[in-house]
Structure 1
Amino acid sequence: MIFDGEENDPFPVEDCLFAETFCQDTVYSLCGQDLKIRQVFGGNLGVAAPVWESALQLCCYFEEQSLELRGKRIIELGAGTGVVGILAARMGAVVTLTDLPLVLPQLQSNISANMPPSGWPNTYPTVLPLSWGEDQMNFPSDWDLVLGADIVYLSETYPLLVETLAHLCQSGSLVYLSSKMRKEHGTQRFYEDYLPGKFNVELVHHDEIQNINIYRASLK
């Protein structure tokens, strides 16, 4: 469920993170948690600015499957607004959210806005820059879950993403990727040709109306 946050806006528009931007504040009710997410448009964030439907469906999938996140060590790739990782942290996971450096202020802002009144049930979420295929070696390989929502859309990044996932999953991590299946971006090709080269891949959810798939993968 989504509630428009404009009427009782907890974040004044003038407090936007970047010059010449506009912000949209929305409350998302997910897994029994109300998340106040600010989307910053016009700050050169591009695809990192919006909350994508794939992210919301991944959150709903976790609820439908009653997936236990408490105590899990989770890293999110291409976190954007942070809605998936923040939800996981609110549910008791130890979460690291990653994206390109320009996106990190938006992530930090949304994390701060969503701290529970009694504090985070586990640890304060960590925010770090991560460029696929370049600096994944700076990260450990013993995560419980590796998450990504709508991060499969640039074909030139597909080998880099697989390389990054392979490093992060060396100790048996499970990967959950939620994607809008865009023909123009060859998204299906990533899951049929690139990811299976190193991973066992299983389609676990398909939304025919939104054309969104959720895949679970594990390193071969």
Structure 2
Amino acid sequence: MTTALCQDNPSDDATKEKDRASTRCLNQDNFEFCGYSLKIARNMGGNLGVSAYVWDAGLALCRYFEKENINFSGKKVIELGSGTGIVGILVTLLGGAVTMTDQPNILQQIEHNISTNVPSASRQRLKVCSLTWGEDHTNFPADYDFVLGSDIVYSSVTYSSLIRTLHYLAKQGTTIYLSSAFRKGNGSLSFHEVLLPEYFNCLIVDRLEDKDITVYKMTRINARPEDWFLT
């Protein structure tokens, strides 16, 4: 179910006067996963592009966690391209210490959904940070138990940067869950079948045939000298 909300646009001191004169319109979708009712707002008036949608690949990853009864308690998790935040929020509710990342203009949407869905007592386990793949990934630690991404393989321009970032963040023993929708013309099939296996052990763990969505479970292959450029 989707509802529409309009509210004053929160702002910092530097943009308060500009934001006072404007409002943002939020569409809110309701989801049920792992016994939790999630209310996910999407800022349709904020020029967020693809980040203003709850994509089926993200829902597929949430359903996979539910189906497999995965417990993230005590685990350190980072999510790439969090968008609305639905995956990272669910993982937090399942006990994970989660760092949710995206471009700077997306973070306010994520923080709004955190405030709606995550109890205050659990927010100490949550961080929201900007991360540009291939540029500032080395500002983050490389000791995560899980790296997550849903529908982040959509532009061939970003593929080398994404691999570089995944390779840095995933230590030996880190599990990567990547949920991807394959689209014609963007090279996503080649990315998963040719590029990723050069650096990661890739296992298909779930598939939605009707939506052409595949969930991969990946681990990093031991680094070779020719891979050093990735770090």
TM-score (norm 1): 0.90
Q: Which amino acid aligns with 2:146?
A: L
Could you say what secondary structure the match of 2:124 adopts?
coil
Q: Which amino acid aligns with 2:147?
A: V
Q: 2:121 aligns with which of 119, 128, 148?
A: 119
CA displacement, residues 143-195 of structure 1 (integer Å, 9 cap, x when unaligned): 11100000000001001000000000124211000011112222111101221
Where does residue 103 of structure 1 map in the other structure?
106
CA displacement, residues 53-77 of structure 1 (integer Å, 9 cap, x when unaligned): 1101100101111111111111000
> Which structure shows the higher helix fraction?
2
Q: How far did 1:94 drift? A: 0.3
Give, in whole Å, the separation in 2 of the partners of 1:183 and 1:38: 29
- 2:84 maps to 1:91: no
Where does residue 2 of structure 2 map in the other structure?
4
Could you say what secondary structure the match of 2:215 adopts?
strand
5+ residue gaps, structure 1: 7-11
Give, in whole Å, the separation in 2 of the partners of 1:214 and 1:77: 15
5+ residue gaps, structure 2: 11-18, 222-231
Where does residue 49 of structure 2 map in the other structure?
46
Give, in whole Å, the separation in 2 of the partners of 1:131 and 1:14: 29
Larger Rg over CA atoms: 2
Contact kept? 1:142, 1:172, Cα under 8 Å: no
Q: How does 1:16-35 map to 2 (within 5 A)?
A: 16=9, 19=22, 21-35=24-38
Q: Which amino acid aligns with 1:204?
A: V
- 2:6 maps to 1:13: yes
Contact kept? 1:16, 1:40, Cα under 8 Å: no
Q: How many correspondences in the alignment?
A: 211
Where does residue 14 of structure 2 map in the other structure?
none
Give, in whole Å, the separation in 1 of the partners of 2:40 and 2:182: 25
- 2:65 maps to 1:62: yes
Contact kept? 1:141, 1:171, Cα under 8 Å: no
Give, in whole Å, the separation in 1 of the partners of 2:162 and 2:117: 29
Contact kept? 1:143, 1:171, Cα under 8 Å: no
Contact kept? 2:204, 2:216, Cα under 8 Å: yes
Could you say what secondary structure the match of 1:42 adopts?
coil
Give, in whole Å, the separation in 1 of the partners of 2:187 and 2:139: 29
Contact kept? 1:52, 1:150, Cα under 8 Å: yes
CA displacement, residues 67-91 of structure 1 (integer Å, 9 cap, x when unaligned): 1111111100000000000001111
Where does residue 177 of structure 2 map in the other structure?
176
Q: 2:85 aligns with which of 82, 85, 104?
A: 82
TM-score (norm 2): 0.86
Q: Which amino acid aligns with 2:46?
A: G
Q: How far did 1:21 drift? A: 4.4
Contact kept? 1:82, 1:97, Cα under 8 Å: yes
- 2:189 maps to 1:191: no
Contact kept? 1:16, 1:23, Cα under 8 Å: no
Where does residue 215 of structure 1 map in the other structure?
216
Contact kept? 2:28, 2:41, Cα under 8 Å: yes
Contact kept? 2:43, 2:109, Cα under 8 Å: yes
Where does residue 226 of structure 2 map in the other structure?
none
Contact kept? 1:205, 1:214, Cα under 8 Å: yes
Give, in whole Å, the separation in 2 of the partners of 1:77 and 1:171: 19
Contact kept? 2:167, 2:220, Cα under 8 Å: yes
